[in-house]
Amino acid sequence: MSAPVVIAVGLLGGAGAVARFLVDGAVSLRLGRGFPFGILAVNLSGTFVLGLLAGVALGGDAYRLLAAGLLGAYTTFSTWVFDSHLLGEEGRRDLALVNLAASLVLGLGAVWLGRELGLALSG
């Protein structure tokens, strides 16, 4: 991988992290902070776009830049698990389990839908 690609991955990673912050904040402001809807929205939109990239068979440096750089920083496994942990610590174990299960199931659905759309667009 060339130095310009590495630098671009870093820059897109920064943009992805900022986008995550903005989307999470906007969704949480609208729906409240009682449940981590913002991170759920971030992760579902990120998995959808990742599926779309796979469906259109994007490869090479373009895939590295968008999948690893932008989407890798945009989506967040650690915040999802941490939010679930906090819900459990607050005695809201039912919501913690909902968050874990919904993210997994809906995330798989989102990546599948994105891939199917990508296949249709490229086919």
**CA atoms of 61 and 121, how far apart (whole Å):** 21
End-to-end CA distance of the chain: 29
Report the predicted TM-score, pTM, of the whole model to 2 decimal places.
Answer: 0.93
Can you give the pLDDT at residue 106? 98
Can you give the pLDDT at residue 41? 98
For residues 50-80, b (16+ Cβ closer than 10 Å) or e, as one string? bbbbbbbebeeeebbbbbebbbbbbbbeebb
pLDDT at 101 over 90: yes
Burial class (CB in 10 A: 0-12, 13-18, 19+), 39: buried
Q: Can you tell me the mean pLDDT for 64-78? A: 95
Q: Can you tell me the mean pLDDT for 50-77? A: 95
Q: Can you tell me the mean pLDDT for 35-48? A: 98
Burial class (CB in 10 A: 0-12, 13-18, 19+), 2: exposed
Task: Report the candidate in 76, 74, 68 with the shortest Cα–Cα distance to residue 1.
Answer: 68
In this prediction, residue 123 has a pLDDT band, given cuts at 50, 70 and 90, of: confident
Can you give the pLDDT at residue 1? 83
Q: Can you tell me the mean pLDDT for 55-68? A: 94
In the chain, the percentage of residues whose pLDDT exceeds 70 is 100
Q: Can you tell me the mean pLDDT for 27-47? A: 97
Q: Can you tell me the mean pLDDT for 41-54? A: 98
- Contact (Cβ atoms closer than 8 angstroms) between residue 69 and residue 9: yes
**CA atoms of 44 and 52, how far apart (whole Å):** 12
- Contact (Cβ atoms closer than 8 angstroms) between residue 76 and residue 39: yes
Q: Can you tell me the mean pLDDT for 25-31? A: 97
